[in-house]
Amino acid sequence: MTKRRRIFQAATPEGQLAGEALLEAIENQLRDNNPPEVSKTLKRLLGAGYSREDALRLIGAVLATEVYEIVHENRTFDERRYVTNLKALPNLPQAQSDEI
């Protein structure tokens, strides 16, 4: 069996699990084409010269920001904000909270 290359590298086992969960969510979004902007963003970043791994890391940063907002700011998933942040890549999003 071949070992899958880690796209997200974390300092703790918990962080690694979180990174792998983000990657799985992104792969599901790509597979389901939902939202379609995830696939469009991946294609755009690949076209701009990013490796697939780096493009997934950037998309993961957007998804992680959205998850942070959900958990720490008690907000619901905001697909419009998610899509806006995807379209802004490679510029990384900032969480809405002042605590970060």
Q: pLDDT tens digit string along 60-97? A: 999 999 999 999 989 999 999 999 999 999 999 875 54
Residue 70: which domain range?
13-88
Phi/psi of residue 42, each to 5°?
-60, -50
Domain count, the chain: 1
With respect to residue 43, please indicate whether it lies within any of the assigned structural domains.
yes
Express each pLDDT in 46-60 by its tens digit.
999 999 999 999 999
- Retrieve residue 24's tokens: 């799985």
Q: Tell me if 24 is assigned to some domain.
A: yes
Does residue 41 lie in a domain region?
yes
- Report residue 18 as tokens: 């979180």
pTM for the whole thing?
Answer: 0.84
**CB 85 within 8 Å of CB 62:** yes
| Tens digit of each residue's pLDDT (9 = 90 or more) over 8-31 | 777 788 888 888 999 999 999 999
